Amino acid sequence: MKPLTALSQDLADGVTTSRQLVEQALEAIESSSEGTRAFIAVHAEKARTVADAQDSMRKGGAALGPYAGIPMSVKDLYDVKGEVSAAGSTVLAGSAPAEADAPTIGRCRQAGFVFMGRTNMTEFAYSGLGLNPHHGTPRSPWDRETGRIPGGSSSGSAVSVADGMAAVTLGTDTGGSCRIPAAFNGITGFKPTASRVPLDGIVPLAFSLDSAGPMGLSVDCCAIVDAILAGDAISIPETADAKTLHFAVPKTLVFDGVDDTVAAAFDRAVHTLSEAGIRITEIPLSELADLPQINAKGGFAAAEAYSWHRDLLAQQGDGYDPRVGGRIVKGADQTADDYIRLLEARRHMIDETDRATAPFDALLFPTVAIVAPAIADVDNEETYGPTNLLCLRNTSVGNFLDRCSISLPCHREGEAPVGLMLTGARGEDAPLLRAAKAVETILAPLRRA
C-alpha cells in the first residue's frame, strides 16, 4: 500500500479503483503468514460491496471525499454496527453485536474508508507486548523466522499496515498502544491529546488515560485520519521550518536500559536533525524519576480497569488471559486514598513538567528502549512482566502527562525497526504534527542509506 495522499491521487486520476485496492488488501491478508493472526475477522464481501459502490459513485461523478474507497482496518475495541466488540477476548465473544457505530467509526465511514475487518490485539488492551493466547500473536515484519513481538496492544492493527493488508488503521493508546506497535513494525503511530477524539463506543481500559489514534505509513496518514476521528477539517500538515524547532531530550528515566541498537539509531537521528538546523537541548526533567513509585500499585490502569472488569472477572475469570486478568485484579488493592493521591500526583507532575518544557516544541526520546524481543523469550512468567513494563515506560509518559505524542521510524532500511518519539504539549497536536513532518523529511535520506 502507498500512503493515503498517493492513494487518493491514484483514485482521482483513475490509476486504480477502490475494488482494486480492496482486492490488493485481501490478497495481502491471504498471502501473508500473519493474515490470520493480524485479523480476528475479515469482512471480504462487505469490503467488496462498499468498494464497488464507491467506484460506481466516483464513475458517476459523485462528489466523494478524497479518501473514499481506501482500505482501513479497525482494532477489535471499536463498535461497528452489527459486529461484536470482543476486545481480543473470548469472554466477550458471545456479546450482542453493536447496535450503532462508535462516533469515530461513523466519521471514518462518512469519509468513505472501506473497513477490511477487525484486528487482533492484546486482550482488553492491557499490555504493550501484543501477545494473545486466544487468537495467536502476529509477528513483526522484522526477523519473522525468529518471530518477534508486534508490540501492543494494537498488535494486529500495526501488522496489517506494515504488511499492506490496509492503508491505515485505527488503534487506541492508554500507555503506548499505538506508538509501541508502530515502533516495532516500522510505521508511524499517533496518540492525540485524549480529549480531542471521542471514546464513546470503544471498550475502555482506563478512562483517565485512554485515547484513540491512527497508525499509517507517514505523518500525513496519521494527521488525515486523526482529523477525521476528531471531527476536524482535513488538511495536510505543513512542514515546520527546521531552524525554528527546539526539542528537549530528557535524561531522566527514559534512557535507562536502552539497548545498543536503539541507542545507535537514536543518536544517528539526533545528529542528522541537528545538522539540519533543529536545536536539541538535553534537560534533566527529573520529575520523571517519580513515575515508577507513583504507579507502583498499578496506577490508573489497574484501578479503572478493575472497576470495569470486576463483575466480568467474578463470572468468567477463568476465560481471561491470566497475564491480563491477574494484573487487572490488582486494582482491587488500591484504596480510595491511593486513588486520590494518584490524582494529586498527576496534577502536580503535569504542572511541573509543563513549566520545565515550556521553551521547547517537543520532547525527543526513543519510543521503546529495546528492539522487539522474540515472542518465545517473553511468553513466560519470568520475563513477561519486566519486559512489558520496559516497553511501556517511555510511551506512558505522554499518557500520564495528558500530552500528544507520535512515533516515527528512525532505523535504516533493513535494520531492526526503531521508533523515535516526539511528545508535544497538551492540545498542541497540530504543531506537533508539523514538527514531526519536518523530522520525517530530514530523516528520509538517512533511513535509505
Per residue in 319-368, pLDDT tens? Answer: 999 999 999 999 999 999 999 999 999 999 999 999 999 999 999 999 99
The pLDDT value recorded for residue 95 is 97
Residue entry with cell 480497569: 305
Other Cβ atoms closer than 10 A to 351 = 11
Q: Which of 282, 446, 429 is nearest to 364 (CA)?
A: 282
Bridge partners, residue 66, by sequence: none
Q: Which of 32, 153, 154, 396 is catalytic?
A: 153
Separation CA 249–CA 282 (nearest Å): 5
Q: For helices 4-13 and 18-31, what crossing angle results, to 10°? A: 130
Nine-digit cell string for 99: 447496535
- Residue ranges and CATH numbers for the domains of the chain are 4-230 (3.90.1300.10)
Order of strands, sheet of 279-283, starting from the edge strand that comes earlier in the sequence: 39-42, 114-119, 71-75, 168-172, 212-216, 188-191, 405-409, 419-423, 362-366, 246-250, 279-283
65 in Cβ contact with 38 (< 8 Å): no
Which segments in the chain show pLDDT lower than 50? Answer: none
Whether the upstream peptide bond of residue 8 has omega within 30° of 0, thus cis, is no
**What pLDDT was estimated at residue 449?**
75
Catalytic residue among 8, 32, 73, 75: 75
SS3 374: strand
Across 141-211, the runs of DSSP E, i.e. the strands, are 168-172, 188-191
Rounded Cα gap, residues 103 and 187, in angstroms: 25
Would you call 177 a catalytic residue per the annotation? yes
Question: Looking at this protein, which amino acid is placed at residue 220?
Answer: D
Strands (E), 35-143: 39-42, 71-75, 114-119
Taking the C-alpha atoms of residue 119 and residue 36, their distance in angstroms, rounded to an integer, is 10
What type of residue sits at position 272?
Answer: T
Q: Examine the residue annotation and report whether 75 is marked as an active-site residue of this protein.
A: yes
Catalytic residue among 177, 208, 218, 396: 177
What is the per-residue pLDDT for 127? 98
β partners of residue 364: 422
Long-range contacts of 80-84 (CB under 8 A, 24+ apart): 80/105, 80/115, 80/118, 81/105, 83/41, 83/118
What are the start-end ranges of the H helices in 358-380?
375-378
Between CA 234 and CA 113 the distance in angstroms is 14
Per the structure block, which three cell numbers stand in for 325? 486478568
